[in-house]
């Protein structure tokens, strides 16, 4: 039996703790959120009004904003002083939202591609023509081959409402969210298979004694309130353990940096657990009260001695022991971070299970400084599309694989089905806010999938690499121009009194040109496809008000409260309804290891280095690649090369290189070399998201190297079907 995962269950404690229904309105003359707010602003701006109710979406974290408006134009964004989440702080990307809003390259009108997919020629058309075409084409395909012949690739809050329309009401199971299958899906399902709860990232770092990070690189990965908690913990004297092949911004602050061989993290975690168990240094009381299958796990990992792990992980045995002793000495007040982007090597479900089990071995649940589930506001009304009674089976269910898949369908299964036509054809494609060229490995395969489609529609704010493949391209409102999702959360760790907040997104300015919001676009397509009677909300204001009615609030009231409603919170510590499955019988029944198990991955062949990638502090992957302010900060990605490897290859700092992967794929663009002992000799590292190929991105096109183009080899995680993307190897070729 596979887990019965619903999207809502899966999302219920997601880090953003947001009510995930975007409720945008669509009216060209949307009322702006401008009010005469009595807010104390950190900046002084003459002749401006302060607009409240902004919620950032330059990344998914959703900090609360105010905007400075002069003559109807947004001139500056700041954190909302009333926020108990990010406060007045926002990051570089948050600030640069202004530049995104007025980017001259933004999509402005509905467009039709009269050229080829991949080499488009755009012709401006009316909204009526665009909507008629989308609805007619999608309906014809679904009528002929069934709803399952449509695939949808959504991303971001704007895409949730249309995703529910196509998934629930039209009825296709072929929905693939990059955030699930290329990012955090493995983490959430592995924790659910261990403690029946997906983790959020609100581990109590501010009040902990030890922060344990495996592959997390805070400082380069910036989510404002999260980084504040991390820094508060360090300020309070927490020890920091960082496991990373690279000397990241976090490694630079660490007490212990474990420069591990890529792909061997599970071996490292098993050896720590085994050491603690063998030496009776684990949390015996906790394990007895909350654990199940502990003896089975203890017996199964007995072979993982410090020495064996040291050899596998290429780190000293004494260092593994040092980490284990540090954790034991401070348990249960240790923060084992579950990570965010965890699709690495195709053995990732096991690593995430091991992290959850290590948390259990230490009893680090529900006490200060540990894994906690802070309680946010409850009671917002749910608004969603009605579900079809008889639903199509998913591709993974048909093939009886990936029983622990996140909600939706693994992207590679959709691609394979579309390309082969087996077990059925997929001929219509809706891409909403996602850029599968840059998010999904093996670009050639993605392009092949798109080429065989009868119809491709894209909705986005900016041109991206994927929009080049659209037949119809529609301009979405940005997060600064629309009502939308309601961000909720809680603050528990910076004050003695807990508080909760409710912050619906409100427009700071009216939408420009012919941009429309997703509810309007979806409803218009739905009407034309014959689903007009099923439309759940007519406008964003109606929708947001309906949601807020569940907690006896309204837009008007929250506007009067400066954009954020505060209410008393609840103590996040204390009894948790918890069982830790150290051994999971159901996993074993499905053919997977019942206890966390190390699965080795391929090592770099001679002459090659493993391609590792990560976040840049001033970019959100590819989404900010055309932002002139952010590109002024960083417009390319250096290639981190180990100093010894550089000497062997006769490369020096600043040399220009191309990368060629194991399948002979060469990077379209070049980058410069950064020579450093801060990366292992068997690996190189670049920032993800650079090297866009769309010439309509006049700032970002061809800047830096596109790592996704070099990730041609997929390692599919067996439990989840998610894609491991760090099993590709590259050679560096010096460019004269
Ligand atoms: S962390 Fe930065 S980009 Fe992300 S929501 Fe906050 S301000 Fe915006």
- Per-residue pLDDT tens for 481-531? 999 989 999 887 776 778 999 999 999 999 999 999 999 999 999 999 999
Query: Which runs of E-coded beta strand occur in 94-224?
Result: 111-113, 122-124, 150-154, 210-214
Q: How far is the CA of 97 from the centre of ligand 1 (A)?
A: 9
Predicted confidence (pLDDT) per residue in 8-21, tens digit: 444 333 333 333 32
Question: By C-alpha distance, which of 354, 92, 396 is closest to 223?
Answer: 92
**Cα–Cα distance for residue pair 722/114, rounded to 1 Å:** 35
- The pLDDT of residue 3: 46
Question: 3-class DSSP state for residue 314?
Answer: coil
- The pLDDT of residue 35: 39
Q: Is 62 in the pocket of ligand 1 (CB under 6 A)?
A: yes
Q: Is 51 in the pocket of ligand 1 (CB under 6 A)?
A: no
- The pLDDT of residue 205: 96
Q: How far is CA 203 from CA 225, 229, 359, 613, in A?
A: 12, 9, 11, 24
Predicted confidence (pLDDT) per residue in 266-288, tens digit: 999 999 999 999 999 999 999 99
Q: How far is the CA of 183 from the centre of ligand 1 (A)?
A: 18
Predicted confidence (pLDDT) per residue in 365-403, tens digit: 999 999 998 888 999 999 889 999 888 899 999 999 999
**Cα–Cα distance for residue pair 631/665, rounded to 1 Å:** 26
Predicted confidence (pLDDT) per residue in 441-457, tens digit: 999 999 999 999 999 99
Q: How far is the CA of 162 from the centre of ligand 1 (A)?
A: 24
Percent of the chain with pLDDT over 70: 93
**Cα–Cα distance for residue pair 217/208, rounded to 1 Å:** 18
Residue 597 contacts residue 403 (beta carbons within 8 Å)? no
Residue 91 contacts residue 619 (beta carbons within 8 Å)? no
**Residue 418 pLDDT greater than 90, yes or no:** yes
Q: How far is the CA of 89 from the centre of ligand 1 (A)?
A: 9
- The pLDDT of residue 43: 54
**Cα–Cα distance for residue pair 477/627, rounded to 1 Å:** 17
- The pLDDT of residue 498: 87
- The pLDDT of residue 294: 98
- The pLDDT of residue 323: 98
CB-based contacts of 523: which residues, under 8 Å, 6+ apart? 535, 538
Query: Within a 10 A sphere around the Cβ of 677, how many other Cβ atoms?
Result: 11
**Which residues, in sequence order, are bridge partners of residue 715?**
724
- The pLDDT of residue 178: 86
- The pLDDT of residue 22: 29
Question: 3-class DSSP state for residue 527?
Answer: helix
**Which residues, in sequence order, are bridge partners of residue 732?**
659
Token output for 255: 């007490």
Q: Is 223 in the pocket of ligand 1 (CB under 6 A)?
A: yes
Confidence band, pLDDT 50/70/90 cuts, at residue 63: very high
Query: Which runs of E-coded beta strand occur in 518-654?
Result: 565-568, 580-581, 609-614, 639-642
* Atom of ligand 1 lying closest to residue 61 CA: 5
pLDDT mean across residues, the chain: 92
Q: Is 224 in the pocket of ligand 1 (CB under 6 A)?
A: yes
Q: Is 59 in the pocket of ligand 1 (CB under 6 A)?
A: yes
Q: What is the mean pLDDT of residues 567-588?
A: 92
Q: What is the mean pLDDT of residues 583-598?
A: 98
Q: Which domains does the chain have, with CATH numbers?
A: 7-105+479-514+535-568 (2.20.25.90), 111-177+407-475 (3.40.50.740), 184-372 (3.40.228.10), 609-734 (2.40.40.20)
Residue nearest to atom 5 of ligand 1 (CA): 62
Residue nearest to atom 4 of ligand 1 (CA): 59
Q: How far is the CA of 443 from the centre of ligand 1 (A)?
A: 28
Predicted confidence (pLDDT) per residue in 637-688, tens digit: 999 999 999 999 999 999 999 999 999 999 999 999 999 999 999 999 999 9
Confidence band, pLDDT 50/70/90 cuts, at residue 344: very high
């Amino acid at each position: 039996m596979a887990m019965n995962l619903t999207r809502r269950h899966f999302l219920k404690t997601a880090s953003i703790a947001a009510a995930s229904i975007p409720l945008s309105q669509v009216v060209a003359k949307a009322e702006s959120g401008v009010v005469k707010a009595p807010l104390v602003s950190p900046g002084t701006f003459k002749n401006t009004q302060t607009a409240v109710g902004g919620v950032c979406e330059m990344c998914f974290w959703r900090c609360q904003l105010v905007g400075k408006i002069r003559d109807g134009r947004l001139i500056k964004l700041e954190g909302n002083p009333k926020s108990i989440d990010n406060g007045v702080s926002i990051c570089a990307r948050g600030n640069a939202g202004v530049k995104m809003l007025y980017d001259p390259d933004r999509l402005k009108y509905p467009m039709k591609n009269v050229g080829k997919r991949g080499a488009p020629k755009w012709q401006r058309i009316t909204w009526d023509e665009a909507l008629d075409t989308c609805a007619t084409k999608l309906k014809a395909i679904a009528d002929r081959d069934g709803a399952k012949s449509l695939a949808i690739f959504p991303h971001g809050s704007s895409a949730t409402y249309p995703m529910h329309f196509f998934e629930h009401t039209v009825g296709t199971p072929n929905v693939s969210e990059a955030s699930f299958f290329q990012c955090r899906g493995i983490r959430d399902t592995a924790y659910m298979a261990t403690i029946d709860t997906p983790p959020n990232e609100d581990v109590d770092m501010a009040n902990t004694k030890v922060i344990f990070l495996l592959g997390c690189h805070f400082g380069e990965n910036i989510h404002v309130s999260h980084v504040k908690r991390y820094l508060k913990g360090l300020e309070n004297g927490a020890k920091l353990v960082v496991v990373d092949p690279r000397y990241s911004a976090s490694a630079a602050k660490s007490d212990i940096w474990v420069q591990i061989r890529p792909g061997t993290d599970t071996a490292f975690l098993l050896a720590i657990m085994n050491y603690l168990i063998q030496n009776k240094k684990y949390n015996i009381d906790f394990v007895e009260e909350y654990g199940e299958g502990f003896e089975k796990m203890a017996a199964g990992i007995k072979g993982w001695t410090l020495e064996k792990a040291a050899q596998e992980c290429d780190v000293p045995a004494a260092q593994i022991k040092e980490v284990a002793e540090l954790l034991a000495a401070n348990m249960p007040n240790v923060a084992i971070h579950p990570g965010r982007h965890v699709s690495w090597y195709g053995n990732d479900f096991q690593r995430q299970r091991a992290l959850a089990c290590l948390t259990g071995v230490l009893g680090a649940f529900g006490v200060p400084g540990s894994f906690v589930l802070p309680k946010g506001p409850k009671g917002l009304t749910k608004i969603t599309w009605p579900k079809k009674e008889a639903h199509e089976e998913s591709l993974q269910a048909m093939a009886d694989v990936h029983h622990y898949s996140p909600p939706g369908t693994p992207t590679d299964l959709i691609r394979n089905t579309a390309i082969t036509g087996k077990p059925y054809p997929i001929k219509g494609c809706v891409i909403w806010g996602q850029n599968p060229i840059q998010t999904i490995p093996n670009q050639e395969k993605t392009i092949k999938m798109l080429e065989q489609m009868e119809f491709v529609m894209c909705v986005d704010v900016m041109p991206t690499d994927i929009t080049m493949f659209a037949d119809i391209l529609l301009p979405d409102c940005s997060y600064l121009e629309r009502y939308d999702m309601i961000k909720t959360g809680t603050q528990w760790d910076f004050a003695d009194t807990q508080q909760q907040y409710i912050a619906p997104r409100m427009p700071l300015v009216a939408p420009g040109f012919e941009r429309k919001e997703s509810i309007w676009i979806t409803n218009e397509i739905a009407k034309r496809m014959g689903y007009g009677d099923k439309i759940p909300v007519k406008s964003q204001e109606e929708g947001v008000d309906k949601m807020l009615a569940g907690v006896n609030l309204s837009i008007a009231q929250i506007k009067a409260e400066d954009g954020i409603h505060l209410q008393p919170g609840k103590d996040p510590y204390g009894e948790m309804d918890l069982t830790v499955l150290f051994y999971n019988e159901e996993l074993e029944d499905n053919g997977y290891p019942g206890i966390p198990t190390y699965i080795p991955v391929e090592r770099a062949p001679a002459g090659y280095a493993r391609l590792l990638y990560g976040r840049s502090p001033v970019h959100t992957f590819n989404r900010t690649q055309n932002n002139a302010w952010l590109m002024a900060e960083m417009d390319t990605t250096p290639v981190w090369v180990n100093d010894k490897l550089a000497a062997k290859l006769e490369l020096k700092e600043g040399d220009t290189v191309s990368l060629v992967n194991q399948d002979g794929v060469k990077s379209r663009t070049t980058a410069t070399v950064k020579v450093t002992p801060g990366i292992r000799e068997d690996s190189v590292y670049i920032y993800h998201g650079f090297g866009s190929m769309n010439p309509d991105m006049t700032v970002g096109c061809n800047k830096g190297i596109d790592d996704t183009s070099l990730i041609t080899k997929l390692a599919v995680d067996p439990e989840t079907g998610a894609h491991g993307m760090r099993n590709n190897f590259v050679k560096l070729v010096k460019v004269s």
